[in-house]
A and B are shown apart, each in its own frame.
Chain A
Amino acid sequence: MDLSFSAEELAFRDEVRAFLNDAWTEELASLMGSTETFKEGQIEWQHRLNKQGWLAPDWPIEHGGTGWTSTQNFIYETERSAVGAPGTLPFGLKMVAPVIYGFGTEEQKQRFLPKILNSEHWWCQGYSEPGAGSDLAALQTKAELDGDDYIVNGAKVWTTLAQYADWIFCLVRTDSSGKRQDGITFLLIDMNTPGISVNPIDSIDNHHTLNEVVFDNVRVPVANRIGEQDKGWTYAKSLLAHERTSIAGVSESKRKLRKLRELLATEVNGGVPLSQDTMIQSRIADVEIELMALEYTELRVLASTAAGEGPGVESSLLKIKGTEIQQALQQLYMDLAGYYSGVIQGDMSAESIGHDFGSEARRAYMYGRAATIYGGSNEVQKNITAKYVLGL
């Protein structure tokens, strides 16, 4: 039992700090903060990380990974979120890339991985459908072989940031005769292919991140298929476990918690700062205690992964607890804003409205409802835990 850092690890931490100090600038933060320039900002941030060689730490070294130990990973994530720097776009880097280097052909690796690294390709995830959410295997978007192409018809929904995407990775149905999981194929589809339309879905945070992606006789070369036809479910499942670990967001929550504590000093009620309000203090303490535990739960999972044992079903625990904590923090953020938690600020200045974080708290809270829904809903995660961990 030991969690102290070695001298090399401390040196690494200093290196990370120095990098972040140069690369994560106010200017970049404001680019990413506005809807119009979000994409540009995100890409610029990824360029900076890529230049440093740190864009895809968990990739195999031969494809551009860093070969960091899990401790180094932990240090990097902690330092990154401490300064409020955002993560990378998961769809390309964390979702499709592992499938490509894990199951793709040499040609596919050469063709796609470098463009994910240089951010030339913006990816989105086309799994869910109107009739296939928690029950993903119910998906019906169809792909039929026609010479060297598949012809794809159907619709995907809730496709995050598809409006910016160059490519989409999709699960499609190629066989409906046997077990539902057995007739699914994993396709990489160029968003510029004729027959694809992207329809925006406004969400309750008053923003547009969600979309419906409709396929009308879309031709996809067989060369864009991952692995074998009808075996897509296996590839997709390996990806879902990845999605669940990164969803815990421990370091992000630690930063939010610090921010809440700062706000306690500046928000006042009847002339008394909220830092003197024992009720909100004890609510924050409740969350912090859960978070302290989760931080170590995550480290335990990391340690067993490093020992070649995971990540397995315990990633459900990280997802459930991580998202519960995120939502509790969002709730506190709203509560601190009081009346202003309802404000839709738009282009107005904080000064004219009279409050500087109410609108942001509202957005974070409303969008944050989704964290217990996506990536396998928390109910589904509990079903998984009951079945595979508890053996019920």
Chain B
Amino acid sequence: MNFKFSEEQNMLKDSVARYVQDDYDFETRRKNAASADGFSREQWQTFAELGWLSIPFSEAQGGFEGGATDVMAVMEELGKGLVVEPFVATVLLFGGLLSKSGNAALQEAYIPSIIDGSLQGAFAYLERQSRFELADVKTSARREGGNFILNGEKTVVFNGAVADKIVVSVRTSGGQSDETGISLLLVDAKAAGLSSTSYRLMDGQLVANLTFDNVTVAADQLLGDLDEGFTLMKSVIADVTIAICAEGLGIMQKLNAITIEYTKTRKQFGVAISSFQVLQHRMVDMFMAAEQTKSLLYRAVCSAEDQSDELEKNVIALKVMVGRVGKLIGGEAIQLHGGMGMTDELDVGHYAKRLMMINTSFGDADYQQQKFTALVAGAA
């Protein structure tokens, strides 16, 4: 039994932590989020130079060959800095789909440019009606000679306004909610017939709705097998779920630290408000909730590292807890800051918002809890 990071992992974690500390203060973050791209290209290049963009890719693909533990180490620190750069969208989602796709030609064509920071990617998997059901796919791709012709719409695409290349889940056969019959196609953002409407989410992300009007995509742009895209996306989303939960944990720890510090300095009734026992207990609850989250995170990461049978159950449990604890800690941090917690100027509200968006990403706590129940019942 060993819950310690390797020396290499410690170095990686420290390098991200130091970067956040020295080069990514809250004002920088605010500026990056408000910029036209929704992040800083300059800082993205630095991420590339520091080697972070190569972490999940195999050595053969030019990567660091990092596993779930490495990704967790990085994400936890990115969370503490509330980093808006699209590491999740480009490296973990888009890159993850490519690297697990088995399509060597596409991997060779694009993974090096993810790693060197020159390519932005996105994964378009949501639709207006789908809510959290990943298999609810109406966007269609029909075969015409050596091409697919795409029609439909994808919504709330993370990094979708900026991505150069987008993986799109499309229906190639079956009914609207069938898991079989979904395929994943790589589409160029400049393809004729593809239009996009972008808007912002409260956590600073720039997202887009993408409309496909007879967009032509060559058949060799297929990731994974025809009609079997769901298995691939499910596996990548499980990895990414662990990653955003690690980000969530980083945020929780940061919010707890900020709140403890604030209550020690804020005076009312002639004393620091941290001296009120009722607030102490609340902060103890926040602390315990973050520790429990960390335990489930480690549990999920361990099962991802050795691909155990428990992986799915562990990831779902983790996502439930991150959703619930995220609401608790975000809400309490604001409450304990009083009026200050309501200001846009303070970072606290922004951390809370990111926690809420992590909750909805890939299915919120209620949705996951029902999946958990079904999974356990199915196994019994």
Contacts and interface: CB of A to CB of B under 8 A. Distances in A.
Given A353-B199, A354-B155, A269 B132 contact: yes
Contact of A379 (B278, B334, B360): B278
A25 interface: no
Given A201-B343, A269-B131, A382 B278 contact: yes
B24 interface: no
Contacts of A327: 331
A348 B197 CA distance: 10
A279 B131 contact: no
Contacts, number: 138
A346 B177 contact: no
Nearest to B201: A342
Contacts of B366: 277, 279-280, 283, 335
Given A206-B344, A271-B176, A373-B339, A338 B349 contact: no
Given A339-B156, A340-B156, A346 B199 contact: yes
Contact of A133 (B132, B338, B364, B369): B338
Interface in B339-358: 339, 341-345, 349-350, 352-353, 356-357
A203 B177 CA distance: 41
Interface string A192-206: 000000000111101
A42 interface: no
Contacts of A158: 339
Given A344-B199, A354-B209, A210 B342 contact: yes
B279 interface: yes
Interface residues of B, number: 53
A341 B334 contact: no
A271 B331 CA distance: 32
B131 A352 contact: no
A15 B158 CA distance: 52
A270 B130 contact: yes
A331 interface: yes
Interface in A275-294: 277, 279-280, 283
A343 interface: yes
B2 interface: no
B130 A204 contact: no
B370 A279 contact: yes
Given A269-B133, A344-B201, A366 B349 contact: yes
Nearest to B131: A269
A134 B345 contact: no
A369 interface: yes
B129 A268 contact: yes
Given A340-B156, A342-B356, A370 B342 contact: yes
A267 interface: yes
A253 interface: no
Contact of A135 (B132, B202, B268): B268
Nearest to B349: A204
A333 to B, nearest CB: 13
Nearest to A135: B268
Nearest to B132: A269
A157 B155 contact: no
Size category of the A interface is 35 or more
Given A269-B132, A369-B334, A372-B335, A344 B156 contact: no
Contact of B343 (A203, A283, A345): A203
A334 interface: yes
A213 B209 CA distance: 42
B356 A270 contact: no
A377 interface: yes
A280 to B, nearest CB: 6
Nearest to B367: A269
Nearest to B271: A135
B31 interface: no
A9 B126 CA distance: 52
A277 B366 CA distance: 10
B89 interface: no
28 contacts: A131-B267, A134-B338, A135-B270, A158-B339, A201-B345, A203-B342, A204-B334, A204-B350, A268-B131, A269-B130, A269-B131, A269-B132, A270-B177, A271-B129, A277-B366, A331-B327, A334-B356, A335-B366, A339-B126, A339-B156, A340-B156, A342-B202, A352-B209, A353-B199, A354-B155, A354-B156, A354-B209, A355-B128
**Can you list the 10 inter-chain pairs with the closest CB atoms, starting with the nearest?**
A270-B133, A204-B349, A342-B201, A202-B344, A135-B268, A269-B131, A354-B128, A135-B269, A158-B339, A342-B202
Given A134-B338, A374-B339, 13 more contacts: A204-B341, A269-B133, A271-B136, A271-B177, A339-B155, A342-B357, A343-B200, A344-B201, A353-B209, A354-B153, A354-B209, A369-B335, A373-B338
